[in-house]
A and B are shown apart, each in its own frame.
Chain A
Amino acid sequence: MHRSSAMTPNLKNMRFIVLLASAVLLLPQQLLADEDVHHMLKKMVQAVHGLSYEGTFVYLHGNQLESMWVVHTLKEDGERERLISLNGAAREVVRDNASVTCIAPDARSVSVGKRILGRSFRAVFSIDTSQLGAIYDFKVLGHDRVAGRPTKVVAILPKDQYRYGYRIYLDHEHSLPLKTDMLDSSGEAISQVMFTHMNVDPHIDDRAESTLEGKELYRWGQRNSTQTRRPVEKSNWVFKNLPSGYSLSIHTQRPSGKESRGVDHFVLSDGLASLSVYIEQQGEQSGLNGSSQMGAVNAYGSLFQGHQVTAVGEVPVATVKRVATALQRSDK
């Protein structure tokens, strides 16, 4: 009895000290954690492009559920990625440093597009999320388990209605995003990608031929839209009053040919979200008038001074609309 009563003040002291210490430690740790998000996201980007892996994921958008298989390899000759639909028609996209091949067995078409030469899109969009504090909040949400693996959960939350946010479940070991929820400005999930299986292995081989039956029946096409692309220095068009954070990333032009009309292609980005605006002369073929939507992708089209203007991207409808209507003729 005597002993225990003598211990009590000590214990109380201890508790107080522990409490105080944790209170003091908590604040900077929280700040540190949020600072860490940028580092974690950077590691994620490196992992997505720098590791060899294959995995199966489900993709839920709206009430549409898809299942896909992805194989990503990094070899001496660069990155290569195959994405194959596991439901319905076995559509497939293969992309490497030189080309993008889209295989659609249901349409019996294979189209091959060249990658934009000399202009790595990754350079354009190499994200430094720490620069985006004015338009997004970055948070560490905690831990969870996805595909049987422990993950750290981080959030990127938009500060206005012109962009979507993300909740990303990053694999502890490899930093790959095992689950990615795209969120609207109220925090509701618009689409979700979740791996159910992920295998990281430097020896993965994806060189096996695509499983095309009756290849000769397919129409092989070259997508000429990317054939003669070139960046444009001077533009007849200018965007006024863009949503905050958005700016022009790249402007390319496809000159008009015998069969096709010239198209101006503008890519705009806030550093994370991006959309494209296409401008072509109004033709007999009608274009999009008003807004349309597919999954998390929104599109908005209108006629402007004899030109069809179409904005499309994985951004809210408010953004495609505002960007499309922000277009003006430049004075020069």
Chain B
Amino acid sequence: MSDIRMSDKQREQISALLDDELSSDQAAETLAGLREDEQLRSAWDRYHLIGDVMRGERVHVTTANVADKVRQRLESEPSIIAVPKSEQAAETGQRAPVRWLRPAAGAALAASVAVGAVMVSPHLTQISPESEGITVATAPAPISLPQHSGTRWKNLSQPEVESKLNRYLVDHSEYASPGGMTGVLPYASFVSYDAKP
């Protein structure tokens, strides 16, 4: 209803922004509009939450509304993913809980900027594995969509080192398939992670 009044031009701009078809000036303008205009923002939210949110994730600006909706969705679809024990131990052990997520997110941001994408996300919220029951629903802080681009090499903040490691890894994978022992996995690392050339 609200976007009946929204101009076609604005809608086009949002759509173009989603498709990363705007120049950086236009993108900045549209983003500024988003910040100020609630209608635009809700349209933006909706565009995002339509099924292909993830596919076009070149531009990924998150507003509080998106975070709210994600949280609502998580509440209605509680899902608990088993975390291997060693990982829990690592998180509760000497390493600060999910400490690596933050530097990694920073690195991903830097890397994404390098390829011309914009990524703004609220802070990743720790979904503590040792919490009781379905904690996802009661987490007080906003929950972001996990970032799909960017690498997740731990302890790294230099994009060029990351992309070098990625190159090494893809290269290594060529030799590292011991006859299917890990089967498709060498390349799974590429498919699931960043592998900018």
- In the bound complex, do residue A88 and residue B148 qualify as a contact, i.e. CB atoms below 8 Å apart? yes
Give Cα distance in the complex from A275 to B171, angstroms.
Answer: 11
Contacts of A182 in B (CB 8 A): 182
- In the bound complex, do residue A88 and residue B86 qualify as a contact, i.e. CB atoms below 8 Å apart? no
Contacts of B92 in A (CB 8 A): none
- In the bound complex, do residue B171 and residue A287 qualify as a contact, i.e. CB atoms below 8 Å apart? no
A327 at the interface (CB under 8 A from B): no
B47 at the interface (CB under 8 A from A): no
Contacts of A84 in B (CB 8 A): 191
Q: Which of A242-283 contact B (CB under 8 A)?
A: 249-250, 265, 267, 269, 271-276, 278
B24 at the interface (CB under 8 A from A): no
B23 at the interface (CB under 8 A from A): no
Give Cα distance in the complex from A215 to B55, angstroms.
Answer: 16
Q: Which residue of chain B has the shortest Cβ distance to A100 in the bound complex?
A: B174
B78 at the interface (CB under 8 A from A): no
- In the bound complex, do residue B183 and residue A177 qualify as a contact, i.e. CB atoms below 8 Å apart? yes
Chain A 114-137 per-residue mask, 1 if CB under 8 angstroms from chain B, else 0: 011000011011110000000000
| CB within 8 Å for A121 and B161 given contacts A62-B87, A106-B58, A292-B153 | no
- In the bound complex, do residue A116 and residue B174 qualify as a contact, i.e. CB atoms below 8 Å apart? yes
- In the bound complex, do residue A285 and residue B160 qualify as a contact, i.e. CB atoms below 8 Å apart? yes
Q: Which of A171-219 contact B (CB under 8 A)?
A: 177, 180, 182, 184, 186, 188-193
| CB within 8 Å for A312 and B165 given contacts A63-B81, A85-B192, A295-B189 | yes
Q: Which residue of chain A has the shortest Cβ distance to B160 in the bound complex?
A: A285
- In the bound complex, do residue B84 and residue A313 qualify as a contact, i.e. CB atoms below 8 Å apart? no
Contacts of B155 in A (CB 8 A): 290-293
A78 at the interface (CB under 8 A from B): no
Give Cα distance in the complex from A290 to B157, angstroms.
Answer: 13
Question: 6 smallest A-B Cβ distances: which pairs?
Answer: A48-B180, A88-B148, A276-B172, A45-B179, A188-B86, A93-B187
* Residues of B participating in the A interface, judged by any CB pair closer than 8 Å: 54-55, 57-58, 81-87, 115, 129, 148-149, 151-156, 158, 160-161, 164-165, 167-172, 174-197
Q: A102-B190, A127-B181 are in contact. List 16 more A-B contacts (CB 8 A).
A: A60-B81, A85-B192, A87-B148, A88-B149, A102-B170, A116-B174, A121-B175, A125-B175, A125-B179, A180-B182, A182-B182, A190-B86, A193-B185, A272-B178, A276-B175, A294-B151
